[in-house]
Amino acid sequence: MTLRVVFMGTPAFAVPTLRAIHAAGHDIAAVYTQPPRKAGRRGLILSPSPVQTEAERLGLDVRTPLNFKDEAEIAAFAALKADVAIVVAYGLLLPRAILGAPRHGCLNAHGSLLPRWRGAAPIQRAIEAGDATTGMMVMRMEAGLDTGPVALTAETPIGEAETAGELHDRLATMSADLMAEALEKLEAGTLTFEDQDAIAARTGRQPVYARKIDKAEAALDFAGDARLIAARINAFSPFPGAWTTMSFGAGPERVKILRARAETGSGAPGTLLDDRLLVACGSGAVRFLELQRAGGKPMPAEELLRGTPVPMGHVIGGA
């Protein structure tokens, strides 16, 4: 027996899970995703979400409501008579009427080890905080923000210089596998849930809010601890991209730092300690591993330095 499923998701992160559910043979009654957004240099082109593009490729019914404030929209959702709704990075608030419409409620794939990192940016905040591990969880949604009971967990280590973009892609694959397992157990009647308070008591993980990334956070200050600075660089890569200013012979310019590693070293914060972009911090030093100049493409530090050497003793940073 297959399940009648409504899928709700928007960005590329959700696409592997949609594919996995489709491949498992479940009856996908409809796919909900955010409406097409304006794109192009002049904003004249409407660009569908990655989920809409994939759903249309699979021949699925796609729905793009602005929200669920309209009673007719809620009634249309309920009329699908779904066994379960699968929600992966949908991006819209779901009212109680939607959460309670499917027979088994709504299952959400969340990219953290709950109750740690509830909220909008769990992948970035886990890296920024220096967490050694993170993971994916399948939880049953309720009215609170990422507070529902958890059914399945898959943990993974965070690499020393792993970026948010790389971790994002790994977790997207893990999400697909975990949700496929959750639906298999739901079908068999063996899917069970654990309250997040019980998880916190068992693991010691306390609730932390993963606030949305603000572009203002991306400016680097080398007065702090090198480990935290490197973690912030990797957490904000590829977006919004942590940045500093450097001179390549024609005055200071803004440069994005897309990957870094904390190392030993000491000196005045912002001073290069060698000719390979080791930067002194308030405590320790940070090695730039990947950079992007304005209008250029991301490149390894050694490749950038071949054409534009930056000598030891050079001071970077500032407005």
**pLDDT for the residue numbered 44:** 72
Are 132 and 234 in the same domain?
no
Separation CA 265–CA 319 (nearest Å): 24
CATH number at residue 90: 3.40.50.170
Q: pLDDT tens, 120-144? A: 999 999 999 999 999 999 999 999 9
CB 68, CB 42: distance < 8 Å: no
Ligand-binding annotation for 114, yes or no, is yes
Number of domains observed in the structure of the chain: 2
Are 125 and 268 in the same domain?
no
Are 94 and 189 in the same domain?
yes
- Residues contacting residue 76 through CB under 8 Å, at least 6 positions apart: 63
Burial (0-12, 13-18, 19+ Cβ within 10 Å), 256: buried
Ligand-binding annotation for 258, yes or no, is no
Ligand-binding annotation for 237, yes or no, is no
Are 236 and 136 in the same domain?
no
Are 180 and 45 in the same domain?
yes
Instruction: Name the DSSP class of 276.
Output: S
- Domain end position, chosen among 153, 182, 210: 210
Nearest to 229 by CA among 184, 263, 182, 201: 263
Stated as kind and residue range, the H or E segment containing 9 is strand 4-9
CATH number at residue 275: 3.10.25.10
Are 71 and 203 in the same domain?
yes
Residue 27: inside a domain, yes or no? yes
- 3-state secondary structure (DSSP) of residue 131: coil
**pLDDT for the residue numbered 307:** 82
**pLDDT for the residue numbered 40:** 66
**pLDDT for the residue numbered 251:** 81
- 3-state secondary structure (DSSP) of residue 194: strand
Are 230 and 262 in the same domain?
yes
- Domain end position, chosen among 185, 210, 235: 210
Residue 244: inside a domain, yes or no? yes
Residue 314: inside a domain, yes or no? no
Strands 278-280 and 285-293: antiparallel
Stated as kind and residue range, the H or E segment containing 125 is helix 122-128
Nearest to 13 by CA among 70, 80, 91, 79: 91
Report mean pLDDT in 10-residue bins for the chain, 319 residues.
94 98 98 90 83 98 96 97 98 95 98 97 98 98 95 97 98 98 98 98 96 95 97 97 91 94 97 97 98 95 92 85
Are 237 and 191 in the same domain?
no
Residue 312: inside a domain, yes or no? no
Instruction: Name the DSSP class of 216.
Output: G
Are 206 and 219 in the same domain?
no
Are 43 and 172 in the same domain?
yes
pTM for the predicted model, two decimal places: 0.94
Are 103 and 42 in the same domain?
yes
Residue 156: inside a domain, yes or no? yes
- Domain end position, chosen among 210, 231, 247: 210
Residue 140: inside a domain, yes or no? yes
Residue 292: inside a domain, yes or no? yes
E strands along 89-148, which residues? 106-110, 118-119, 133-140
Are 30 and 50 in the same domain?
yes
Both tokens assigned to 152: 């399945």
Residue 319: inside a domain, yes or no? no
**Number of neighbouring beta carbons within 10 Å of residue 27:** 11
Domain that residue 247 falls in: 215-307
Omega of the bond prior to 311 within 30 degrees of 0, cis?
A: no
Ligand-binding annotation for 152, yes or no, is no
